[in-house]
Every structure is written in C-alpha cells, then in structure tokens.
Amino acid sequence: MDGISVGSIEEAAKRLEGIVLPTPLAVSRRLSSEYGAEVYLKREDMQEVRSYKIRGAYNLMGSLTQAQRNRGVVCASAGNHAQGVALSASLLKIKASIFMPATTPLQKISRVRAFGGSHIEIKLVGSSYDDASKAAEEYCRKKGSAFVHPFDDYKVMSGQGTVGKEIYDQMGDKLDYVICPVGGGGLISGVSTYFNGKAAHAKVIGAEPQGSPSMYESIRQGRPIMLGKIDTFIDGAAVKRAGSNTFKVVKRLVDDMVLVPEGRVCTTMIELYQNEGIVAEPAGALSIAALGMLEKRIRGKSVVCIVSGGNNDILRYPEIMERSLVYRGLKHYFLIEFSQKPGQLRKFLDKALGPTDDIVRFEYMKKNSKETGPALVGIELAKKEDLAHLLERMAGLELHYKLITLDDPLYEYLV
C-alpha cells in the first residue's frame, strides 16, 4: 500500500505486537502544576533501543517479501535509527548494511553492533550523515537491497504512527493536544494521521529545533526546502531537508509548528533529570521544552508530550549545562580591553563584579608593545537581572568591552 492511513497504522501495530514495548503514559505533576494543564509524558525512551525508531524500522523490514529479505537491507544513520534497524535485523534474521559517519562515537557504534550481532555490517563512511546516506543509497542500488529510510517511507511512517495509536488507546477522546518532536517528520506524520482519523478534535503540534527548522521552513514556503548550515546539537532532529512524503502529511494534518531554542531544550533536559530522573536525549526533550511556548493555549487542557528517546551521551552534559546557563541569562562572555599596567584586573574584580558574580573563564596574554590588551572573560550570575548592574559598573569604570552574543561567530568557539 502506497500511503499512510489509520488502517496501515493498525496493521503495523499488529506486526509490532511482542516486538515493541507499549510504553507508559505517565502524568507529570510538576509540569501539570507549572503550566496549569494536565500534562502526560509518553515514555518512548523506555523501549529496548531507548527510542521509538524500532517501530518504523521493524514495520518496514517485517513487511518485506522473502525474496527482498534474501537481498538484505541498507540504511544510513548515526544514532537511533541504526539501533532500530540493527535490532530488527537480528529479530527477523535479515542481513543489514548500516552506514554511519566515520566520526560516530564508539559508544554508538558498539550499541548498534550489540543489537545487530552477526546480522549486520557497519560501514563507516565520510564525516557527516549526508556523506553516509549518499554512500548507502549508492550501495543499495548496486546490491538491489531494500533501503530503510529513517523517516520518508510510508511503512516507516505507519510504524511510528503506532505511538499515536497507543496514546489514543490510553487516553481515549479526552486528549486535547499531542506535542511531537520533529526532525524528518516520520513520527508526527504517523501520529497526526491516526488522530485525524480517530480523534480529529485533538490538535497535533510539532516541536522543531530553532537551529534546524527544515519542516517549519518547508511549511512556510509551501514546498520541501534544503537548509544550508544547521545547528546539529539536537542531533536526533537536526535534518537539513524534511521528507517529501512527510511534508505532504504534515502540511495537511498538523495544526501548528513551533521552533524551540536549543538552550531551552538543555534546560528541560536538566530539569527532567533532576526532578523525574528521566535521562532524555536532546530530541527527546523537545516536546516538553515546547510547553512554555504554548502556555496560553494549553492552560486547562490535557496534553501529551512524546519523550522520543533517551540515548544521551554522558560526555555531552558539560555542553548541556553551558547552553542552559547561557539561555537562562546566567552566563555571559565578554571581550574586555584592559590597560596593560599593574592593578587593572584587581580593579575589575573589586569594582565591576557584584557580590554573587563569579568569573568562570579568563584568558589573557600581556603584550608589552601595546597600551591595552583584550581578555576573554566568562561571568556567571546568580540571576539574570544582575547583568544590567554589571554593565552599569563596567561603564562606570570606562571599560571598553564587547558582549559576545549567540549570533557572534566567536560564540561557537566558546560553547
């Protein structure tokens, strides 16, 4: 069947019985209280592969004919999709060639290998997902294998749509909003299709990273578009071009799209860990981070946020903390021109810094041939309102400085 429907999603659900975990739908008392709504979390991070991606991968691979299975499958991924394909290959005993960028962390490669075992081969190609995907498609054509696309395939979309079926089975008609993370659009295409057919009153809203708004821009321009440079921090949803098939579904069925700043997502990840003990990956926290941007609309309503995955590398937490502090206005970077004579730093410490301001970064090299020298200074504040007072004191000292903002090229070096 070339397309996606309630029927194709229900067919996928039958195929996935005993393969995927029907994940919990848990009420969040903290978020419900904070937003004046009834907020539920759909815990797809609790799947064996710690994401919903197993649903679409298995549905496609499980629907192949025996002749197709004999020729094997091919996919490209640096993360969750690769794990879903690997586990599906092992369960179905299908040979899978998985293309991953050569820059993929060993931890991710090891997890893919653990799920797939002898049924997979991993090919490390290029330095980006785009490089790996191009190589995978060429290899697929030569071998005559089936390509398991991470999102732009109707079988994959139908498999991801079983998340929506489970939510409907768990909530019935009392649901007002479903918030889905959006990368290529496979998950939201499936979820919106199911709710459009079963509970059209429920509004489906997509949450996309501000730094990689491929679906948002495609909807705005009326056609799938290719973005240039993107912020890849939310790697599970950082896509330069949304799918052609997913675009058609999203344009027709999704009620709204919101762009979520990466720093807000980081703050949400930290809050989820500290309050609920949930280890969400950046894309997994997208839907919850979007709540604050929808606060007026959702007040008094019942809302489901899909926690799409929990494959987060512990080594990323320093950057997550950094981005959160910057987003919340608690950390700022300056280039400050200091006179190159004794006592200037002491003067800055005594008269510019407030009692709760803290220097967390300082880089300076004295140059005797010049009267002044620039220093890179990072300052952490107790509350964001303290910035205005800090700038007033710096102006009183007649310091020449530049506040480094998010759109400054130097910011990428700092964070």
Question: Are the beta carbons of 182 and 188 closer than 8 angstroms?
Answer: yes
Strand partners, 203: 177
Give the span between the Cα atoms of 380 and 291, in whole angstroms.
27
90 belongs to the catalytic site: no
List the catalytic residue out of 8, 189, 308, 324: 308
In order of 54, 197, 262, the CA distances from 14 in angstroms are 14, 18, 37
d(CA 27, CA 24): 10
Residue 53 annotated among the catalytic residues of the structure: yes
Q: What are the Cα distances from residue 176, in Å, to 38, 192, 252, 255? A: 10, 13, 19, 12
Strands (E), 113-176: 120-124, 146-147
Angle at 119 between CA 114 and CA 121, to 5 degrees: 80
Which among 43, 59, 61, 84 has a CA at the least distance from the CA of 9?
59
Q: What is the three-class DSSP state of 213?
A: coil
Q: Which of 8, 42, 51, 53 is catalytic?
A: 53
Nearest-10 Cα torsion for 177, 327, 185, 156: -100
What is the edge-to-edge ordering of all strands in the sheet holding 400-404? 358-364, 372-380, 331-339, 400-404
Catalytic residues: 53, 308
